[in-house]
DNA sequence: CGTGTTTATCGTCAGGCAGACGACTATGAT
DNA sequence: ATCATAGTCGTCTGCCTGACGATAAACACG
């Protein structure tokens, strides 16, 4: 079959973002309110069209900066502050996922420390951090008036995939540190694992495990009592990205 | 910013396939020869445009069937013969990856047992199983005449990602059975691991591990001597998809 | 028909890691 | 001073893995 420029249909390509953070001991995702049809007024994942001269990762980083002010953590400069982890998640292109036209969305997963008050174009009422449990549960309520509406489009599905990716990836990588400020304690890191997995972990075994894994944590020498109790050592993320052996998530 | 249908640039969307199999103790990928520019005459991954009324997974399954005759293994009917595993791999959309136009390619990973002689539109000389080692090594040779040319476009990169996905996924899932015929022996399964990882495994420890993992293997009652030596028990893949604890890949 | 080769399968043993949990330490709150 | 809160260090036991010896059942060959 010879090449024919008219042989393929045109698509719109967007990036959607699953931005996760840990606030008050629970895993939260960034949601923005849609200002236009379809799904006007409903909550959705942040995202937007990929521009003609942009790579996919660039577009995702641009959207992330627009929505949160976060810069993407450059792996080449790991000491940089205020950086978020960003990676491609999956691509969603069912042919009727957007009623307007044929849209393929390349979803990305971002992990951020808990700091920024959300802003969507400067309007705080149109962006919020919502517990993922709440956002995912809403998919069960189809009837009007029974709790808030689920996310627009197939965003509930995308969010579920992103959460599952984060849950499994902190098992075998040092990605949980992306949820922490630049300096953090072992207890703070443990609370990240507990929030993401939704389980309680033994503080003593956790401490032994993370401090015994070479390259995971680097002590800074300082201590803090910001969590109360006995002062805790402060650490930075070490260079290791893959944990071997992995952290074990307690089954069910 | 209000919705404007002319505000987004049009993209072409394709699916590309990393089809892996194990032949003669080595991991091989399907390559097809390009019949048209750009990269005319060069080897590439199979793939094609997504049609207007097709979902992404449908398009990938269609391309797979066109190139190999394989049907996608339906998880709902696990006893089905001649089925291949198919999953989305990642999406590649750098803005100059195709010199003709803006193309976003949703790459998929397929794992198939060793049976089919490749065919591309009925022409066997335009499709082949090539050892992945060979295909990936060629990326190092930029000079003309120094071995065959590397794959077209960014397909070497896509192939490397697919191989890495397969290598890591057989650690913690039962996916290695997708490389095997419907009934297989422990030794045949071990040779799959050895080919994909490129290492030698201890037959005794491997046997203990796979037969001791509940749900991984189901004995069929039969035996075979097709590998020579003492007759070996035949197994089918069990229902378990996640292996816990995982198979351990020997380091380096 | 024995003998060697090949592959499969079972057993043993030592080391390492994880879960359960006791004990002690250093802060702030009352 | 006492208590509550968190952090840190140890111990013990069971399980899993890697290393490797030993046996079993087929085929090839003289």
Q: What are A52-96's pLDDT values in tens digits?
A: 999 999 999 999 999 888 888 765 554 455 679 999 999 999 999
**pLDDT reported for residue A141:** 47
What's B93's DSSP letter? -
Q: Are B13 and A93 in contact (CB under 8 A)?
A: yes
Nearest-nucleotide field for B225 (CA, C1'): D26
- Partners of A219 in the β-ladder: A235
Q: Are A123 and A46 in contact (CB under 8 A)?
A: no
Nearest neighbour of A91 by CB, restricted to B12, B36, B56: B56
Query: How far B240 CA lies from chain A's nearest CA (Å)?
Result: 15
In the structure, what pLDDT confidence band is assigned to residue A3 with cuts at 50, 70 and 90?
A: very low
In the structure, what pLDDT confidence band is assigned to residue A163 with cuts at 50, 70 and 90?
A: very high
Residue closest to C25 C1′ by Cα: A230
- What mean pLDDT is predicted for residues A231-241? 96
Nearest neighbour of A91 by CB, restricted to B7, B101, B106: B106
- Partners of A105 in the β-ladder: A14, A92
Distance CA B9, CA A216 (A): 43
Q: Are A130 and A159 in contact (CB under 8 A)?
A: no
Q: What Cα–Cα distance (Å) separates residue A92 from each residue in A169, B44, B85, B166, B181?
A: 21, 24, 19, 21, 31
Q: Are A248 and A181 in contact (CB under 8 A)?
A: no
What's B242's DSSP letter? B
| Res. B13: pLDDT tops 50 | yes
Averaged confidence pLDDT in chain A? 90
Phi-psi region of B100 (alpha: psi -120 to 50; beta: other; left: phi over 0): alpha
pLDDT over 90 percentage in chain A? 78
Q: Are B108 and B60 in contact (CB under 8 A)?
A: yes
- What mean pLDDT is predicted for residues B85-105? 96
Look up residue B181 and give its two tokens: 């015929």
| Res. A149: pLDDT tops 90 | no
Q: What pLDDT, in 10s, does the model give residues B151-210?
A: 999 999 999 999 999 999 999 999 999 999 999 999 999 999 999 999 999 999 999 999
Q: Which of A108-117, B17-26, B105-114 has the lowest mean pLDDT?
A: A108-117
Q: What is the pTM of this model?
A: 0.92
Q: What pLDDT, in 10s, does the model give residues B116-137?
A: 666 666 566 789 999 999 999 8
- What mean pLDDT is predicted for residues B78-84? 62
What's B201's DSSP letter? -
| Res. A24: pLDDT tops 90 | yes
| Res. B6: pLDDT tops 60 | no
A11 to B9: CB separation less than 8 angstroms, yes or no? no
Look up residue A219 and give its two tokens: 């002590």
Q: What pLDDT, in 10s, does the model give residues A164-175?
A: 999 999 999 999
- What mean pLDDT is predicted for residues A47-55? 96
Q: Which of B41-45, B86-90, B124-128 has the lowest mean pLDDT?
A: B124-128
**pLDDT reported for residue B148:** 73
In the structure, what pLDDT confidence band is assigned to residue A42 with cuts at 50, 70 and 90?
A: very high
Distance CA B179, CA B163 (A): 13
| Res. B251: pLDDT tops 90 | no
Q: What Cα–Cα distance (Å) separates residue A238 from each residue in A78, A109, B97?
A: 9, 22, 35
| Res. A123: pLDDT tops 70 | no
| Res. A2: pLDDT tops 50 | no
Q: What Cα–Cα distance (Å) separates residue A57 from each residue in A17, B17, B90, B164?
A: 11, 21, 12, 20
Q: What are phi and psi of A161, to 5 degrees?
A: -65, -40
Distance CA A78, CA B221 (A): 55
| Res. B11: pLDDT tops 70 | yes
Q: Which of A39-43, A125-129, A136-140 has the lowest mean pLDDT?
A: A136-140
Distance CA B104, CA A13 (A): 8
| Res. B144: pLDDT tops 60 | no
- What mean pLDDT is predicted for residues A212-231? 96
Long-range residue pairs from B155-161, CB within 8 A, at least 24 positions apart, any chain: B155/B16, B155/B44, B155/B45, B157/B92, B158/B16, B158/B18, B158/B45, B158/B89, B158/B90, B158/B92, B158/B105, B158/B107, B159/B18, B159/B29, B159/B45, B159/B132, B159/B135, B160/B136, B161/B18, B161/B89, B161/B90, B161/B107
A54 to B95: CB separation less than 8 angstroms, yes or no? yes
- Partners of A174 in the β-ladder: none
Query: How far B12 CA lies from chain A's nearest CA (Å)?
Result: 6
Look up residue B65 and give its two tokens: 């069937």
Tell me: cis bond preceding A212? Omega within 30 of 0 counts: no
**Within 10 A of B212 (CB to CB), how many other CB atoms are there?**
9
CA–C1' span, A232 to C28, in Å? 14
Question: What would the DSSP string read from start to end of B20-71?
Answer: EEEETTEEEEEEEE--SSSSTTSEE--EEEPPTT--HHHHHHHHHHHHH-PE
**pLDDT reported for residue B70:** 86
**pLDDT reported for residue B2:** 42
């Amino acid at each position: 079959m010879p090449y024919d420029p008219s042989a393929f249909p045109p698509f719109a390509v967007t990036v959607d973002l699953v931005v996760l953070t840990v606030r008050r001991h629970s895993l939260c995702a960034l949601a923005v309110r849609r200002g236009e049809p379809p799904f006007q007024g409903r909550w959705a994942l942040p995202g937007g069209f990929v521009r003609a001269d942009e790579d996919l990762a660039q577009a995702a980083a641009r959207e992330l900066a627009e929505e949160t002010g976060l810069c993407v953590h450059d792996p080449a400069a790991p000491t940089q502050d205020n950086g978020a982890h960003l990676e491609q998640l999956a691509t969603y292109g069912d042919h009727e996922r957007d009623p307007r036209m044929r849209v393929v969305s390349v979803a990305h997963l971002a992990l951020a420390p808990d700091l920024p008050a959300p802003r969507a174009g400067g309007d705080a009422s149109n962006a919020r951090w919502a517990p993922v449990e709440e956002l995912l549960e809403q998919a069960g309520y189809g009837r009007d008036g029974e709790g808030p509406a689920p996310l627009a489009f197939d965003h509930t599905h995308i969010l579920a995939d992103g959460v599952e990716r984060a849950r499994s990836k902190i098992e075998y990588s040092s990605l949980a540190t992306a949820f922490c400020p630049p300096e953090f304690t072992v207890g703070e890191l443990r609370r990240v694992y507990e929030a993401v997995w939704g389980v309680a972990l033994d503080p003593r075994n956790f401490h032994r495990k993370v401090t015994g894994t070479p390259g995971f944590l680097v002590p800074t020498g300082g201590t803090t009592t910001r969590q109360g109790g006995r002062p805790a050592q402060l650490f930075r993320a070490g260079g290791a990205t893959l944990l071997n052996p992995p952290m074990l998530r307690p089954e069910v």
